[in-house]
Each structure stands twice: as C-alpha cells, then as structure tokens.
Homo-oligomer: A and B are copies of this chain.
Amino acid sequence: MLQTKKLILVVNDDGYLAQGIEVLAQAMKPLGDVIVVAPDDARSGSSCSISSTLPIHLRTISEEPGLKIIACSGTPADCVKLALEYACPRQPDMVVSGINHGDNASVSLHYSGTMGAALEACMKGLPAIGFSLRTHSQHCNFQPYLETVVRISKQVLEHGLPQDVCLNVNFPEVETLQGSRVCRMARGRWVAEWQPAQHPHGADFYWLAGQFSNLEPEAEDTDMWALDHGYASIVPIRLDMTSYETLSTLNFS
C-alpha cells in the first residue's frame, strides 16, 4: 500500500534566515517532508496582516530531499496563503510557525506575526501551532525545547486539533523545562510604550518599546504564570472571537 509522506509547512515572522525557523524545520524533518515558506526579511509585530496593495513574489532559496526553502516578500499570513495555493506540492498535514525569538503570551498574541500565520492556517482548516521563546536574543540555545516541540507536533500531526482552534506554545528561557502546562491567556497590558527621539534635522519621532504588565500575576492557570515558573505554556486559541458571555446582555435597539 502506498503511504504518502506527511507534508509540514513551516513559517515564521522573523524571516527565513532566522535561527528559530532553521531549528524548527530541522526538528520537523523526521516527521515528514518539510516546506519552508517564510518572509524574506524580519516582520515582527505583523499580526494577521495581509498585503492588500502590493504584489507578492516567491523565491526558492534551496531544495534538498525532504526540505525546500522559499522566501516570500509578504507578511506571515501571506506566506501561508501563497504557500497553500502556489508553493506546496499538496495540502500540508500541519502548519508550524516559529520558533519566534520573543514570547507571544498573553495579549502579545494579538501583535504576533508568528501567531498570525498560525491563525491563517487555522482559517484554512489546517492543524496549526505557533512556537515562541521568551528571549531578546537572535542567537539562542533551542535545545531545551526541541523534545517538547517535537512531541506536541507529532501529537497534532497524528490526532489533529479541534475545529477552528490552533495552539499558541511559548517557552521560558531556561536550561531545563519544568514541564508544559495547557493554560489560558493571562490578562495583561503593554505600558509606557514609546520612546521619543529626534531626527537629526530636528523632527520628533517615537520608537515603540514598552513594558508588559501582567494584570493577574498570581493566576496559576495562565500562560504568563507558566512561563514565569519555568514551564512551557500551551494555549488553545480559537478563531471565533465572539464574546458569547456578553451576547445576551447587549441591546442597542
């Protein structure tokens, strides 16, 4: 009986040259054929944005048995969209995004291009996972997380995910993980976000920086708590953002 090898699409928002995506692509190779379609440059903070006014192009960077790498001029969500229609030889069995340099826990999810790509794959009905590491470095030791990355990916590849749900997986920067916890998004807020500066010619401008403030640091069932205590956090994320809890309480007639 002919068994087609699984196909895994790997994307990110840091660009195809980032260390995190190279590590992720290599980790996926034992699980199936791997195709990387990633931005041609860093696109942090892309959220689920799409390119509505510029045409997008693809460029094949390298191809070897079981691993093809393609650079895309668009956003992370564009990468997924274009990969599915033009780059993948068949429908992928799973889409993994990352490993992002920087965490995407709590509300940072909303800004994340890593998770934008995962959400896009989820919108297309594919099992999707975003992986992110809480670090400020572009050169990290990803070794402590690979066993968990592969374990979660294998399980999703075999059993899928609930309809319209993808995973937001974050790692703390530690030598040894305490384990992993399925949890919820913490309530949080970015504060003091801008650093004013002056153009050499005198004009004011502002750099986005900011501090994250956890609004419920004691809540043990949150992703931030897991990360703060050395655990990987695994948050199931739903496409449907309707607030069902408040639906019946609202009346605007």
Mark the stretch among A1-9, A22-30, A103-111, A134-142 that contacts chain B.
A103-111
User: Is A143 at the interface (CB under 8 A from chain B)?
Assistant: no
Q: Contact partner of A162 among B44, B152, B243, CB < 8 A? A: B243
**A57-B204, A82-B194, A86-B194 known; A162 and B246 CB under 8 Å?**
yes
State whether B81 touches A208 (Cβ < 8 A).
Answer: yes
**A49-B47, A242-B235 known; A253 and B57 CB under 8 Å?**
no
User: Is A211 at the interface (CB under 8 A from chain B)?
Assistant: no
Q: Contact partner of A50 among B111, B187, B203, CB < 8 A? A: B111
State whether B242 touches A236 (Cβ < 8 A).
Answer: yes
Which B residues touch A155, using CB under 8 A? 252
Q: How large is the interface on A (under 10, 10 to 19, 20 to 34, 35 or more residues)?
A: 35 or more
State whether B57 touches A52 (Cβ < 8 A).
Answer: no
State whether B184 touches A152 (Cβ < 8 A).
Answer: no
8 A Cβ contacts from A140-195 to B: 151-152, 155, 162, 164-165, 179-180, 182-185, 187, 189-190, 192-194
Mark the stretch among A32-40, A90-98, A117-125 that contacts chain B.
A117-125
Which residue of A52, A56, A203 has the most chain B CB atoms within 10 A of its CB atom? A52
8 A Cβ contacts from A68-94 to B: 75, 77-78, 81-82, 85-86
Which B residues touch A58, using CB under 8 A? 204, 206
The answer for the CA separation of A185 and B238 in the assembled complex, in Å, is 12
State whether B124 touches A189 (Cβ < 8 A).
Answer: yes
State whether A206 touches B82 (Cβ < 8 A).
Answer: yes
State whether B57 touches A179 (Cβ < 8 A).
Answer: no
**A57-B206, A85-B194, A189-B124 known; A238 and B243 CB under 8 Å?**
yes
**A47-B48, A238-B243, A246-B236 known; A252 and B151 CB under 8 Å?**
yes
* Further contacts, 17 of them, CB under 8 A, given A48-B111, A184-B240: A45-B50, A47-B47, A55-B206, A82-B194, A85-B194, A86-B194, A86-B206, A124-B189, A125-B189, A155-B252, A162-B246, A180-B253, A182-B250, A183-B247, A184-B247, A185-B242, A236-B246
Which 6 A-B pairs rank lowest in CB-CB distance, beginning with the nearest?
Answer: A47-B47, A238-B243, A45-B52, A236-B243, A55-B205, A184-B242
